[in-house]
A and B are shown apart, each in its own frame.
Chain A
Amino acid sequence: MASAARSARTLFAVSAPAVRSAAAVPATPAVWGGAHGHGHAASPLPSARAALAGGAVAARTAFAGRQAFQQKRFYAAPVTIADADADITSPPKSQEYYKKDMSNYNDQASRNFNYFMVGNLSVIGAVAAKNIISDYLINLSASADVLALAKVEVDMAAIPEGKNLVIQWRGKPIFVRHRTADEIAEANTINIEELRHKETDSERVKDPEWLVMLGVCTHLGCVPIGEAGEFGGWFCPCHGSHYDISGRIRKGPAPLNLEIPPYEIKEDGKIVIG
């Protein structure tokens, strides 16, 4: 038994710690082993030739039964052709041969290199994250063709005092009224506290002569009729909302004053809406 274990041990040259003692190993210990358990005398030298001569090949294919699991540890080593009679229980070179040359090793440089590589990956990740976010936000903003239609110019000289102009802006009607001095005065005399939606006239216009409003009734979205209604402003035919000369709701179901779009009055006599 002892000799069997020993020869089995010779065949585990690459996993020498796997077999610890004869007691722990059965007569046919593993895939390779057990050859000499069948009565062969152990060869004096644990060589490859001795292992093959002892019927190891046949034993490899034999059913070995359930074995206790033992991990085999392998290590990479340069391939060398060993002499057939050489001892295969020890590596062909000394242990020093397999050790990494650490004489030029600088632990601070190595640490810096590691941080540098991790940092580089982080830089790439940061740039990628920033670009993903900015691309997503750009995607949400209006495209060039929408922006091209987004602004509308109105020539102020074309609207005489006391007249309305209705134009289209982003698919919605815009009321532009050139108000007379009387109308401006009337819009300013209203007591704000009586209003449903409390806004002064000066909050609603940039230049009191020019009233620019979104022509959509704040009730259900009809387009009010100009110069109509009980308050001299606009009247919504759908459900009878009355707006005054500043576009504020005075009577009827609408909850809010007519909306003011973003606009600018330019020096060259044009109103740019949008």
Chain B
Amino acid sequence: MQKLVYNVFFRRSSSYLATIFATAFVAEIAIDGFSDRLWDAANRGRQWKDIREKYISN
């Protein structure tokens, strides 16, 4: 198992770098989405997108 992980991800610099970039891409989206949802949950009803329909009808 450890040997397989090493051979797949770490052994070649190219696959290591590809793993890093892929992880960075996924992790950023995941962290952004999570923190946005957290923020929206903590500020429900107070943001413009929550009260927009009271002022603009389209």
Known: A119-B16, A119-B19. A112 touches B24 (CB 8 A): no
Q: Which of A15-23, A123-131, A145-153, A254-262 is found at the contact surface with chain B?
A: A123-131
Among residues of B, the one whose C-beta sits closest to the C-beta of A115 is B10
Contact A115 B24 (CB under 8 A): no
Q: Which of B1-9, B33-41, B42-50 is found at the contact surface with chain A?
A: B1-9
B11-57 interface (Cβ within 8 A of A) = 16, 19-21, 23-24, 27-28
On chain B, the residues within 8 Å of A141 by CB distance are none
* Prevailing SS type, chain B contact patch: helix
Contact B28 A130 (CB under 8 A): yes
CA of A127 to CA of B28, assembled, Å = 7
CA of A113 to CA of B56, assembled, Å = 54
Contact B6 A112 (CB under 8 A): yes
CA of A131 to CA of B24, assembled, Å = 11
Among residues of B, the one whose C-beta sits closest to the C-beta of A122 is B20
Known: A127-B28, A130-B28. A119 touches B6 (CB 8 A): no
On chain B, the residues within 8 Å of A126 by CB distance are 20-21, 24
CA of A112 to CA of B2, assembled, Å = 7
Contact B10 A108 (CB under 8 A): no
Contact B24 A108 (CB under 8 A): no
**Closest-CB distance, B23 to chain A (whole angstroms):** 5
Q: What bracket does the count of chain A residues touching chain B fall in? A: 10 to 19
On chain B, the residues within 8 Å of A122 by CB distance are 20, 24
* Prevailing SS type, chain A contact patch: helix
Contact A115 B6 (CB under 8 A): yes
Binary B-proximity of A97-128 (CB < 8 A = 1, otherwise 0): 00000000010110110010001001100110
CA of A126 to CA of B19, assembled, Å = 12
On chain A, the residues within 8 Å of B2 by CB distance are 106, 108-109, 111-112
**Closest-CB distance, A47 to chain B (whole angstroms):** 50
Q: List 28 A-B contacts (CB under 8 A).
A: A106-B2, A108-B2, A108-B3, A108-B6, A109-B2, A111-B2, A111-B6, A111-B10, A112-B5, A112-B6, A112-B10, A115-B9, A115-B10, A115-B16, A119-B9, A119-B10, A119-B16, A119-B19, A119-B20, A123-B20, A123-B23, A123-B24, A126-B20, A126-B21, A127-B24, A127-B27, A127-B28, A130-B28
Q: Which residues of B contact A (CB under 8 A)?
A: 2-3, 5-6, 9-10, 16, 19-21, 23-24, 27-28
Q: Which residues of A contact B (CB under 8 A)?
A: 106, 108-109, 111-112, 115, 119, 122-123, 126-127, 130
For the complex of A and B, 3 pairs with smallest distance between CB atoms: A108-B2, A126-B24, A115-B10
